[in-house]
Amino acid sequence: MAQAGASMFCFRDFQPKVEELSFFGMIRKGTTLEAVMAEANAWIAEHQIDVINIETVLLPWGGVNSKPDSHFSTNEGTQFLQTVRVWYQAG
């Protein structure tokens, strides 16, 4: 059980924006990893985040209206987004 005022480990994911899809709904073009890192750096600076670690993770992309989650699929045709995950300490 967390104590009042105790620090907590948290993370926030920064994902590329899908800019263009093929006729079949596959990602053809998205923002670069550099642009995703710039977004993460801006958030860190704006909120004065106490960063513990930054990593990249591959998260499945299920389409324009879906948000990737941590459940990986092995189905053929599944696309993955290279996501920047910022681990930080809050509280």
C-alpha 81/C-alpha 37 separation (Å) is 14
What integer pLDDT is reported at residue 89 of this predicted model?
A: 94
Given a cut of 50, is residue 1 above it in pLDDT? no
**C-beta pairs of 70-78 under 8 Å, 24+ apart in sequence:** 77/26
If residue 5 lies in a helix (H) or strand (E), which one and from where to where?
A: none
pLDDT of res. 70: 46
CB atoms near residue 40 (< 10 Å): 19
- For the residues 1-10, what does the mean pLDDT come to? 71
pLDDT at 67: 52
C-beta atoms surrounding 30 within 10 Å? 19
User: Is 61:69 a contact under the CB 8 Å cutoff?
Assistant: no
For residue 13, the number of C-alpha atoms closer than 13 Å in the C-beta half-sphere is 14
> pTM score, two decimals?
0.75
Tens digit of pLDDT for each residue in 7-62?
899 999 999 887 787 787 777 788 889 999 999 999 999 999 999 999 999 887 76
